[in-house]
Amino acid sequence: METREYGKTADGRAIKSFLLRGGNGAELEVLDYGGKVRRLSVPDRSGACENVAMSLDFTKPGFGGSLIGRYANRIAGGRFAIDGTEYRLPSNIAPDGMPCLLHGGSAGFHDKIWEARPFETAEGDALELSLLSPDGEGGFPGNLAVKCVYTFTKGNVWRIEWTATTDKATPVNFTHHVYFNLSGEARRPVSDEAVRIAAGSYTPNGVGQITTGEIASVEGTDFDFREPRAVGERMNGAYDCNWVLSSQDGSLAFAASAEDPVTGRRLEAWTTEKGMQFYSGFALNDSLKDQFGRSLFPLAAFAFETQAHPDSVNKPGWPDTVLRPGQVFRSATEYRFSAV
């Protein structure tokens, strides 16, 4: 595996880059800084490899393209309670005047230099990323030991496997916030890419994009992607919501797919998680830049963020996201690439 010095963060921390090779010329380049994806090149139907992954500008500690934790998505009010003890977190956004913690806040995984260990497997190149999030970091209780292993197989499957342990009860919800544009270097808006989501229900958002606590059927709504639909076919493509996946038993199961009609590139997301945030990138704009310094635009790329349902730690009756001493958190997601 190719390893090189990449540069430094805005505050002077050294960054390393790791190149994992798949099959038929496919490559995955990632950084130990936030586990960020710099490049993910996969073949189209003619065999031409181009980058299909988008991260946000590496010179700023943003979420796009990064590992996300301790808690992905939103925690309403920046607070939660475990066993009668309330914890308050430093909220980092307040849409509609509703403060909340988004993606772990400024102390999140996206801005950490992870300890990186490259190794080989029978399936392909792999990279283990690990860190210790100390008790109280970001307002969360417990010393949380986290490992995330990337494997890029010879069949062009990018597997992301998480494990974590803690010495105090603490909520955990991890995801990867990479964006995809299957048109490659053409960088066409993703409005024509056909998306399918294996979900018969979703969690509607209320004020401040906080989940209301309802689990609603997608039947007869613009959120029904049980059959492939072009991203821009409905709602002008303005999607940013969590779907309740059909598989709820923790097995690795099909979650979603996307297909570009021009290049033939196809992506399938498989996960052990119960939920997935589909964000179409409708709010991206030219005030933002990607990892190569290029200006963005609405629908520049989409995200399939596999996760626990947002704000689950504050929703009685929803799947429990509290990890306790003696338990091991495990989660796996695969992004499978092919061409049709």
Q: Is 177 a catalytic residue?
A: yes
**Whole-angstrom distance, CA of residue 39 vs CA of residue 45:** 19
C-alpha 153: how far from chain center: 19
The amino acid present at 290, given as its one-letter code, is D
**Whole-angstrom distance, CA of residue 231 vs CA of residue 257:** 12
Tokens of 151: 């494997």
Contacts of 210 (CB under 8 A, 6+ apart): 74, 76, 98, 100, 310, 311
Tokens of 249: 């038993």
Catalytic residue chosen out of the listed positions 110, 305, 309, 334: 305
**Whole-angstrom distance, CA of residue 303 vs CA of residue 301:** 7
Catalytic residue chosen out of the listed positions 103, 110, 176, 177: 177
β-bridge mates for residue 117, sequence order: 128
**Whole-angstrom distance, CA of residue 156 vs CA of residue 335:** 9
C-alpha 252: how far from chain center: 16
| Contact call for residues 167 and 142 (beta carbons, < 8 A) | yes
C-alpha 318: how far from chain center: 21
Query: How many Cα neighbours within 13 Å face the side chain of 224?
Result: 7
DSSP 247: -
The amino acid present at 8, given as its one-letter code, is K
| Contact call for residues 210 and 95 (beta carbons, < 8 A) | no
C-alpha 32: how far from chain center: 16
Which positions are catalytic? 177, 305
